[in-house]
């Protein structure tokens, strides 16, 4: 009886060893796989500034979308001729906003969000105002950079 | 009586799926054990390497972009930015090379033990078709990183296809997607590599494996089995143990010798000196180089290509040509022919590796 019990113990021990080995193997295979599946962070081009447009390119009461740090941004020339730039990513569900000359403000087509010429929400679902960027004119170029 | 052993769930699933026949079949299937039994693992190893290719290939698809602007950069991104990307890509490359090699090993062991004789003729034919598919996989996959060596290898390889009489020009145009190797070629090779060939391979591999299961392992002529073991679970477990060893080998190779990416292809740059195809195409490359430019009235290159096509056809029809094996006889000349073929492949490959290319 005793020897039979001992044999079972040894067998169980080997089973555990085999199980642990297989578990280890599964870990060795699955760990790199799961890490591989998670996309790496693409370093955003931040802090820099871009040439958004040439001086005179934008008539008053119009806007232009341009890439800024890998995301769309919008440069607008207000009806009274002031240049302003904002992120063009709507704070609601990240659609790209546009300038509506007929309304003379920024509008998001996806869910009818309205922003005024300072990026503040007028109406619609957007929870926050659009981030405003710094606009400087250097010679012929309209340069947009992050504030601060 | 037997019905009573099964629970409600088993009865329910059996009524719908009819899996018991398969389980019963596998339970009664046996594998003979004798001094040459080790060759029975060769097919399984090839299958495992193929599965590794499928899995790592799908993973690479997540980041790879098939365009002239982005292909090289995306592979670079996989290897430098994606976590374990270097591992996945290196394993894909290493496994591809080992698979090509192992397909040949598997084929020649099947050949020398006459495993293609009645009733396994179509197992051989489907296997030979998969050898061609494997080479096509290798050829198309090689271009995808869009590096210099691959670019020129593809130029030369498709040019050779263009030398096939009558249809060659059309084949070349079809492969290249135009007159030259361009981004269009990359798109085509990508489509062929990840859609067309996998679809074909799934069907032919399915037939191959089904036939292997139905007919069981072939016993070499005049070899007596010492005993038999059950396929499930005994042989399958041994198979899996071998697979784990192969996986360990792949991991080691990929880690210690990561597959290089090379320089980005530049269609306007001249071909780099010393350019050669991958080792598994060297025997063809070397043969074509050694042929004189004129053989009787024909171009040497064209004669060489025709010879390879005939060779491929002979390979496909081996079971029907070796009439001796059908009578359970080992013909000495068939063996000699096989040895000559191996010698030819090995010598030409070594020559191709050793001799300067230009």
Spell out the CATH class of B27-274.
Answer: mainly alpha
The size of the A-B interface in CB pairs under 8 A is 27
The pLDDT value recorded for residue B203 is: 98
Name the residue in chain A with its Cα closest to that of B55: A33
Average pLDDT over residues B290-306: 83
Taking alpha carbons only, the member of B107, B192, B180 closest to residue B141 is B192
B25 compared with B123, residue with greater pLDDT: B123
The pLDDT value recorded for residue B6 is: 66
Closest partner residue to B85 (CB to CB) among A29, A36, A42 is A36
- Mark B217-250 as b/e (b = at least 16 C-beta within 10 Å): bbbbeeeeeeeeeebeeebeebbeebbeebbeeb
What residues of B are in contact with residue A33 (Cβ under 8 Å)? 59, 84
B84/A25 touch (CB, cutoff 8 Å), yes or no:
no
Residue B357: pLDDT band with limits 50, 70, 90: low
Name the residue in chain B with its Cα closest to that of A22: B244
pLDDT digit string, tens, across residues A87-145: 998 888 888 899 999 999 999 988 889 999 999 999 999 999 999 999 999 989 999 99
| 3-class secondary structure, A78 | coil
Distance from CA of B82 to the nearest CA of A (A): 6
The pLDDT value recorded for residue A147 is: 81
pLDDT digit string, tens, across residues A69-99: 778 899 999 999 999 999 998 888 888 899 9
pLDDT digit string, tens, across residues B90-104: 999 999 999 999 999
Name the residue ranges covered by the structural domains of chain B. Answer: 27-274
> What would be the CATH architecture of the domain defined by A49-145?
3-layer Sandwich (2.102)
Distance from CA of B59 to the nearest CA of A (A): 8
Q: Are strands A71-77 and A141-145 parallel, antiparallel or unpaired?
A: unpaired
How confident is the prediction for chain B on average, in pLDDT?
91
B83/A36 touch (CB, cutoff 8 Å), yes or no:
yes
Which range has the worst mean pLDDT, B113-117, B286-290, B314-318? B286-290
| 3-class secondary structure, A107 | strand
A37/B84 touch (CB, cutoff 8 Å), yes or no:
no
Residues in chain A: 148
* Other C-beta atoms lying within 10 Å of the C-beta of residue A145: 16
The pLDDT value recorded for residue B358 is: 42
Name the residue in chain B with its Cα closest to that of A41: B81
pLDDT digit string, tens, across residues B243-265: 999 999 999 999 999 999 999 99
pLDDT digit string, tens, across residues B190-214: 999 999 999 999 999 999 999 999 9
Is the pLDDT reported for residue B112 higher than 90?
Answer: yes
Name the residue in chain B with its Cα closest to that of A30: B84
């Amino acid at each position: 009886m005793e020897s039979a019990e001992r044999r079972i113990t040894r067998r169980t021990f080997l089973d555990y060893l085999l199980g642990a080995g297989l578990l280890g193997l599964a870990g060795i295979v699955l760990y790199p796989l799961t890490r591989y599946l998670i996309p790496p962070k693409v370093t955003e081009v931040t802090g820099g500034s871009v040439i958004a447009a040439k001086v005179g390119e934008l008539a008053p009461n119009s806007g232009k979308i341009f890439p800024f740090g890998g995301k769309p941004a919008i440069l607008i020339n207000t009806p009274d001729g002031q240049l302003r730039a904002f992120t063009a990513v709507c704070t609601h569900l990240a659609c790209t906003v546009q300038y509506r000359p007929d309304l003379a403000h920024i509008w998001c087509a996806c869910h009818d969000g309205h922003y005024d010429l300072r990026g503040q929400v007028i109406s619609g679902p957007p929870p926050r105002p659009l981030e405003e960027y710094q606009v400087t004119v250097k010679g012929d170029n309209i340069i947009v950079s992050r504030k601060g | 009586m037997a019905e009573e052993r099964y629970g409600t769930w088993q009865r329910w699933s059996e009524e719908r799926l009819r899996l018991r026949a398969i389980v019963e079949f596998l339970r009664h299937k046996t594998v003979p054990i004798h001094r040459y039994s080790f060759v029975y693992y060769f097919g399984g190893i090839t299958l495992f390497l193929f599965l590794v290719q499928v899995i790592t290939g799908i993973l690479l698809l997540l980041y790879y972009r098939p365009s002239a602007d982005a292909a090289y950069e995306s592979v670079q991104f996989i290897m430098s930015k994606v976590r374990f990307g270097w591992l996945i890509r290196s394993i894909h490359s290493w496994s591809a090379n080992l698979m090509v090699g192992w397909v040949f090993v598997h084929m020649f062991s099947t050949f020398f033990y006459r495993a293609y004789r009645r009733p396994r003729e179509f197992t051989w034919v489907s296997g030979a078709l998969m050898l061609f598919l494997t080479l096509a996989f290798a050829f198309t996959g090689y271009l995808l990183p869009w590096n210099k060596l691959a670019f020129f290898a593809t130029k030369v390889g498709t040019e050779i296809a263009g030398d096939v009489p009558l249809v060659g020009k059309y084949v070349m145009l079809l492969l290249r997607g135009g007159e030259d190797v361009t981004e269009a070629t990359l798109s085509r090779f990508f489509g062929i590599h990840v859609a067309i060939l996998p679809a074909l391979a799934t069907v032919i591999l399915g037939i191959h494996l089904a036939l292997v299961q139905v007919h069981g392992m072939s016993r070499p002529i005049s070899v007596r089995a010492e005993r038999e073991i059950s396929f499930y679970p005994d042989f399958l477990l041994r198979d899996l143990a071998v697979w784990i060893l192969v996986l360990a080998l792949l991991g080691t190779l990929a880690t210690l010798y990561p597959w290089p990416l090379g320089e980005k292809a530049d269609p306007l740059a001249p071909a780099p000196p010393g350019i050669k195809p991958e080792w598994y195409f060297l025997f063809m490359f070397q043969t074509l180089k050694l042929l004189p430019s004129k053989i009787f009235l024909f171009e040497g290159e064209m004669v060489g290509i025709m010879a390879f096509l005939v060779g491929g056809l002979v390979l496909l029809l081996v079971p029907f040509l070796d009439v001796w094996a059908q009578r359970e006889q080992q013909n000495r000349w068939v063996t000699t022919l096989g040895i000559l073929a191996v010698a030819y492949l090995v010598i030409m490959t070594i020559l191709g590796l050793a001799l300067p290319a230009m």
